[in-house]
A = this chain, B = another copy of it.
Amino acid sequence: MSNPFIKKLSRFVVLGDEEVGALEHLSRNPRDFKGGHDLILEGAKPEYVFLLMEGWAYRYKHLKDGSRQILAYLLPGDLCDIHVFLLDEMDNSIGLLCDSKVVMIPAGEVLSVMDQFPKIERALWWATLVDEGTLREWLLNVGQRNAYQKLSHLFCELAVRMKAAGLVDDDGSFSLPVTQIELADTTGLTSVHVNRTLKRLRDEKMITIGSRRLHILDPERLAEVAGFSQEYLHVEGEPVEMKLRTRLGKVG
């Protein structure tokens, strides 16, 4: 299963051949995009749903004073803006952090696949719920933790998600094409303070960071510092549909 989209939805429902076929059809023809560019800007009329097949993207929003909040990182298999259906215009921008492969799916096509395959609709809904859970963790992170804990928590989360996407090396390191400025805009800090905090994490031998890679040297201690537990990401165990079947004695 090399299609990260199908791999991801399989965490939620058990897909039949027809459904796999439909998803493969949806994700045919990814286009190559250069890193540093934006897929879509706040205010644009959304026509496509962007599906990331390879690379890194991020969702962000600007304030009038120029400050920026990064709202999510998007990894292979993630839909960038399924909430497009609601919007007359985009309420956030999506940028690419490195060269990436992206499928642009016309919004109507997503809708008709959902109409045809209720299971896919439900899987997409569940994916949305995971995104929401992640957002809640981010809010907790930004609202309540100090700089040291914030960065630790972010790194723990990214490690788990990258692992689930099969993108962590044997030595435990993974690509992190993110500048300290971006880490700052993610956590609500300044890049100067991020820099000092990274130095501390490095000095304490918990991480190695540089040349766009992160290596977590001491995962246990990092998770301890962050107060991290990975349940909210729902990357482990059998598909949600199966768990639900067991729990409620019925098919979702």
Which residues of A are at the interface with B, using a C-beta cutoff of 8 A? 61, 63-64, 67-69, 71, 82-83, 85-86, 88, 91-92, 107-108, 111-112, 118, 121-122, 125-126, 128-133, 135-136, 138-140, 142-145, 187-188, 227, 231-232, 234, 240, 243-244, 247-248, 250, 252
Do B188 and A61 touch (CB < 8 A)? no
Pick the residue among B118, B133, B138 that contacts A83 (CB under 8 A): B133
- Min CB gap A40→B, angstroms: 15
Copies of the chain in the assembly: 2
Pick the residue among B111, B144, B231 that contacts A188 (CB under 8 A): B144
By beta carbon, the residue of chain B nearest A92 is: B136
- Whole-angstrom distance between the alpha carbons of A121 and B124 in the complex? 12
- Whole-angstrom distance between the alpha carbons of A99 and B61 in the complex? 37
- Whole-angstrom distance between the alpha carbons of A63 and B228 in the complex? 10
By beta carbon, the residue of chain B nearest A252 is: B111
- Min CB gap A153→B, angstroms: 11
Q: Which residues of B contact A85 (CB under 8 A)?
A: 126, 129, 240, 244, 252
- Whole-angstrom distance between the alpha carbons of A227 and B209 in the complex? 36
Do B252 and A71 touch (CB < 8 A)? no
Do A133 and B248 touch (CB < 8 A)? no
- Whole-angstrom distance between the alpha carbons of A96 and B85 in the complex? 32
Asked, given contacts A118-B118, A248-B108, whether A139 binds B139 with beta carbons under 8 Å apart, the answer is: yes
Task: List 6 A-B pairs, Cβ < 8 Å.
Answer: A71-B136, A86-B133, A86-B234, A111-B248, A121-B121, A128-B132
Do A130 and B231 touch (CB < 8 A)? no
Pick the residue among B82, B132, B140, B248 that contacts A69 (CB under 8 A): B140
Q: Known contacts A86-B126, A143-B188; can you find 20 more A-B pairs with CB under 8 A? A: A61-B136, A61-B140, A64-B227, A69-B143, A71-B136, A71-B140, A83-B132, A85-B126, A85-B240, A85-B252, A91-B231, A92-B136, A107-B248, A125-B125, A128-B128, A128-B129, A138-B139, A139-B139, A142-B143, A144-B188
